[in-house]
């Protein structure tokens, strides 16, 4: 989590409270990039919750609650519902599945 903390703090170091209303945070495990592997919903939720708690410390509770945190990492029709049902996952950063209209449509309808 130290790497995620450092990345988030670095990316947001010059972003004001007011500017945060335009920010969407995307999390994708490095081991999932281009591999077709995805985190379990519980693993992804743990990291999203950590990010939300960090945003609360960096800014405030309101900003933390209102910031969209989306999951990337091989979101597909067969795992989208479970991932998107997690309380701190606010959407998907869909990669390869977006190249197939049927798959993408199924994710959108989740």
Chain segment 75-109, per-residue pLDDT in tens:
999 999 999 999 999 999 998 888 899 999 999 99
Residue 41's Cβ-side half-sphere holds a number of Cα atoms within 13 Å equal to 15
Is the domain spanning 2-108 CATH 3.40.309.10? The answer is: no
Residue 74 and residue 38 in contact, taking contact as beta carbons nearer than 8 Å = yes
Question: How much is the pTM?
Answer: 0.91
Q: Tell me the percentage of the chain whose pLDDT exceeds 90.
A: 78
Rounded Cα distance between 83 and 69, Å, is 12
């Amino acid at each position: 989590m130290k790497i995620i903390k450092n990345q988030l703090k670095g990316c947001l170091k010059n972003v004001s409270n007011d500017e945060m209303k335009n920010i969407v945070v995307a999390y994708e495990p490095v081991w999932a990039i281009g591999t077709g592997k995805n985190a379990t919903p519980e693993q992804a939720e743990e990291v999203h919750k950590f990010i939300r708690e960090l945003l609360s410390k960096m800014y405030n509770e309101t900003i933390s609650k209102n910031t969209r945190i989306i999951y990337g990492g091989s979101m597909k029709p067969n795992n989208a519902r479970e991932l998107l049902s997690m309380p701190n996952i606010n959407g998907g950063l869909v990669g390869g599945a977006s190249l197939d209209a049927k798959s993408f449509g199924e994710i959108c309808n989740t």
